[in-house]
Structure 1
Amino acid sequence: MKSNRKDSSKENRADFLDEFQSCFFSTSRLASFPWTFLENDLESSKSSQLILDVLKQTCLHALCKKFPPSVRYRKLFLVELIRRVEAADCEPLDELYDSLAEVVSAQEAAEGYRTFLLPCGGTVSLLENLALISEGTTGLVTWEAAHYLAEWALDHPQTFAGRKVLELGSGVGFTGVTVCRSCGPSKYVFSDGHSSVLQRLEDNVRLNGLLQEETPPEVSVEKLDWSDVTEERLDAIGADVVIAADVAYDPDVVAVLVQLLSRILRRKCGRVLPEVFICSTVRNRQTYDGFTKQLGDAGISHRVISGAVSHVFQYKRVSEVELIKLYV
C-alpha cells in the first residue's frame, strides 16, 4: 500500500510540473496555475525543493533560453513564486532570487514568445506582439478560434492527412504549425493579406523549422488579397481543404470573404469539391449572424460542427467559439 501511495505522489508531482510548465510557456494567466498543490507542498515540507523543480521546468529550462516569454510575464511569475515561498515561511532559494535579478535587469520589448506543447511531444513556438492591436491589425496575436480549430484538427487528423491545405488569414501561424506538426498534410499554404502580419507569419513558420524541412509537408507562406485572387492562383494552390480562424469579425471584409469562399467551394480539386471549415470567436452575435446570412445569400449552406473537443492548449476560453463546415 505504501508503494502505491508513493507512486501516486510521484505521478501527482509530475502532472503538477507538466501543468506548470504548460501554463508558463503559453503565458497563461497566473490565476490559472495549479497553486493549491504548490501551497500544500510548501506548508507540509517547509522546503523549497518543489520551487526549484518548478524553476527547472520554467525559467531555467532550455526552452526559456531559446524562446523566452516576455520580460514582464517572467517578472510577474517569479514575484508570485517568491510571494508563495515567503508566505509559507520556507527556506530561501538562491536560484529564485537570481532568476528575478536577471529578469529585472533585462530590457522589456513589445513582443514575446509563447510556446505550446503538442500531444506528439513537439512544440509550437510563436513570437507575438503583447498588444492585442498593433500596427493597425489584430493579426499579430493568436485568438481563441485559432486554438480551438487546432484542437479540433488534432482530434480529426484524417481531415488533413495527405491533403493540400490552404489557410486563409493565418495570422501568426498557430493553427497551421499545429496541423503541419501533427496531422500529416502533403502541402500547406499559410496566407495573409497584411504586410506586417505576413512578415511575422513567415518568421514564425521558419522559427518552427517548417520552411527548412525536405520531408512533407510542402510549406509556403503567401500573400493573398481576397479581392483579387485569380483563378490561376487558386489552381496553382490546388487546395482540397481550406480552413480559417477568426476571419469574419469585421463587417467591412465579410462580403469579399464570402465571394472568395463561393469561388473556392465551386472549384474541383481533381474530381471532388474542397472541404471548407471556418472557425469563429463569436464576440458580436450581430456581426457573426451577418456573416452567415451573407453565406446563405451567396448560395452557401453551413453546418455547425458540435461535440466535445479535446482541451489540449492553455488559453482563455471566454467567448463562444463556433466551427462550421460550408457546402454548395
Structure 2
Amino acid sequence: MKQSRTRFFDTLKYQFLCCHPLHCINWEVIPTHLTWEQQQELIEKTVFHPLNQKQPIRISYQLNFLKRLIEQLERHCDEVHDIVYESYCSVQQRVAQDTTEKYAYKHYQQAALDISLTLRESKSFVAEGTTGLCSWQASIALADYLAHNTDIVNGKCVLELGAGTGFCGMILLQCSDVRHVLITDGSYECFELMKENVRRNFGDAETCDDGYVVKEKLLTMSVLEWGAVDEMIWPNSFSTDIILAADVVYDDTAFDSLVYAIDYVFKMKEDACEMLLAATVRNEYTLQKFLDLLSSWNFQYVDRNVTPVDKCYFYWDRTTPVKIYHIKRHS
C-alpha cells in the first residue's frame, strides 16, 4: 500500500511539474483516506516543490490542478488538510498578476535517467509569429523514444530541425552518449529562447568556439531556415548522422522547403545518414501529403512504435496520436 502511494505521489509530481494536461491524469487511482500528513506530502511534492517555488509553472494550471485535487480529496478523505485549501487561495491571488506574464516554466524530471530539465516557454501556442516557443507533444514523444533507444544516437552527430525550445536535444545530452548535437530553428526568437534554456540547464558547462561541452559531448545552436540550408555555416567537425524533427509537418506551405533541407543534408553525407520524424496526427491528409512528397524525392519511411504509457519516461497528451517515422534513402 505504501509503495503504491509513493508511486502515485511521484507520478503526480512529474506530471504536475511538466504541466501534463489534467484530462490525461488518472485521478481515479488517487489513494483513498489519505491522512493529513500524506496530504501535506502530496502538496509539498507538487505546488510546494522547490522547482515550482523558484521557477513557477503556469498559474492557471496550478489553480485547475488544485481544483481537481480538492474534488478528489473531498470525495475520498474524511477531512481535507488546511494546507490544500490555503494553497488554492494563495495561487488564486496570483491569477491577475499572471495574466501579464508571457512566459512560464515546465520541469521535466526522471530519476531513472538522472534527468532534470527546466524549460522557459511561451504560455501561448502561437507567439511572436511562431509556434516554436513552447514544447509540443511530438517532441516529448520523440525524446521518450530516443531515451529508450539511445543506441540510435550514441557516438553520432545529431541535427535537429525546428527545435523550438531545444527540449529534445537537451534531453539527448542528459540521457545518451551522443557525440555532437546541433539544435536549429528558423525563428530568431526560438533561437534566443533555446540559448536561454541551454544556459539555464547547462550553465556550468565548458564553452567552446562552437557552443558548449557537456560531459565531453558537444552542443551547438544555430538559426537555420530550411529554404536557405545551402547558406548554413556548419560547426567544425560536424557531419550529420541523424536528423531529428518533431511537429514540423502541420503547415503544407513549408513542405517544399523542409524536404529541400532534408535532401540537402542527406546529399552532404551521400545518403549515409537517417532521420527520425515525429508528427502529431492532427490531419491525416496533411501528414500523408508530406509523406508522399518524401517518397517523390526517393526517401523511404517506416513507422516506429511510440513508447507505451506504462513505460514512458515523460508525459504527453495522447488524445491526438503521435507517429514516429524512420526515414532513409538508398543511393
When the two structures are superposed, what TM-score results if normalisation uses the length of structure 2? 0.86
- Separation (CA, whole Å) in 2 of partners of 1:210 and 1:159: 27
Which is worse superposed, 180-189 or 298-307? 298-307
Secondary structure at the residue paired with 1:249? coil
Secondary structure at the residue paired with 1:114? strand
Q: 8 Å contact 1:48–1:85 — kept in the other structure?
A: no
CA offsets 1:216-265 (integer angstroms, 9 cap, x no match): 22112110111112377357442222111111221111101111111211
- Separation (CA, whole Å) in 2 of partners of 1:79 and 1:90: 18
Q: Which amino acid aligns with 1:226?
A: W
Question: Is 1:148 paired with 2:136?
Answer: no
- Separation (CA, whole Å) in 2 of partners of 1:152 and 1:38: 28
Q: 8 Å contact 1:117–1:124 — kept in the other structure?
A: yes
Secondary structure at the residue paired with 1:124? strand
Q: 8 Å contact 1:205–1:211 — kept in the other structure?
A: no
CA offsets 1:113-172 (integer angstroms, 9 cap, x no match): 111222312222212222222222211222221111111101110111122111010011
- Separation (CA, whole Å) in 2 of partners of 1:257 and 1:89: 54
Question: Is 1:286 paired with 2:278?
Answer: no
Task: Report what 1:230 is aligned to.
Answer: 230
Q: CA deviation at 1:305?
A: 2.5
Counterparts of residues 1-328 of structure 1 (less than 5 Å): 9-38=1-30, 40-42=32-34, 47-87=35-75, 90-91=78-79, 93-106=81-94, 107-108=97-98, 109-118=101-110, 119-209=112-202, 212-213=205-206, 214=213, 215-230=215-230, 233-234=233-234, 236=236, 237-268=238-269, 273-306=272-305, 310-328=311-329
Task: Report what 1:6 is aligned to.
Answer: none
Q: 8 Å contact 1:165–1:239 — kept in the other structure?
A: yes
Cα RMSD after superposing both structures:
2.4
The runs of 5 or more residues in structure 2 that have no matched partner are 207-212
The alpha-carbon distance between structure 1 residues 39 and 308, as it changes in their structure 2 partners (threshold 3 A), is closer
- Separation (CA, whole Å) in 2 of partners of 1:218 and 1:238: 13
Q: CA deviation at 1:17?
A: 0.8
- Separation (CA, whole Å) in 2 of partners of 1:24 and 1:200: 23
The alpha-carbon distance between structure 1 residues 104 and 235, as it changes in their structure 2 partners (threshold 3 A), is closer
Task: Report what 1:5 is aligned to.
Answer: none
Which is worse superposed, 166-175 or 304-313? 304-313
The alpha-carbon distance between structure 1 residues 34 and 258, as it changes in their structure 2 partners (threshold 3 A), is closer
- Separation (CA, whole Å) in 2 of partners of 1:235 and 1:49: 54
Q: Which amino acid aligns with 2:273?
A: P
Q: 8 Å contact 2:281–2:287 — kept in the other structure?
A: yes
- Separation (CA, whole Å) in 2 of partners of 1:178 and 1:73: 24
The runs of 5 or more residues in structure 1 that have no matched partner are 1-8
The alpha-carbon distance between structure 1 residues 19 and 252, as it changes in their structure 2 partners (threshold 3 A), is same
Q: CA deviation at 1:76?
A: 2.0
Larger Rg: 1
The alpha-carbon distance between structure 1 residues 144 and 89, as it changes in their structure 2 partners (threshold 3 A), is closer
Which is worse superposed, 9-18 or 317-326? 317-326
Q: 8 Å contact 1:48–1:90 — kept in the other structure?
A: no
Secondary structure at the residue paired with 1:233? coil
Q: 8 Å contact 1:38–1:50 — kept in the other structure?
A: no
CA offsets 1:52-76 (integer angstroms, 9 cap, x no match): 0101111122121233211111122
Which is worse superposed, 26-35 or 118-127? 26-35
Q: CA deviation at 1:266?
A: 2.1
Q: CA deviation at 1:15?
A: 0.5
Secondary structure at the residue paired with 1:161? coil
When the two structures are superposed, what TM-score results if normalisation uses the length of structure 1? 0.87
The alpha-carbon distance between structure 1 residues 31 and 48, as it changes in their structure 2 partners (threshold 3 A), is farther
Identity over the aligned pairs, expressed in percent? Answer: 25
Q: 8 Å contact 2:266–2:272 — kept in the other structure?
A: yes
- Separation (CA, whole Å) in 1 of partners of 2:3 and 2:31: 17
The alpha-carbon distance between structure 1 residues 324 and 92, as it changes in their structure 2 partners (threshold 3 A), is closer
- Separation (CA, whole Å) in 2 of partners of 1:174 and 1:145: 11
Secondary structure at the residue paired with 1:137? coil
Q: Which amino acid aligns with 2:161?
A: L
Q: 8 Å contact 1:26–1:114 — kept in the other structure?
A: yes
- Separation (CA, whole Å) in 2 of partners of 1:66 and 1:162: 35
Q: CA deviation at 1:83?
A: 4.0
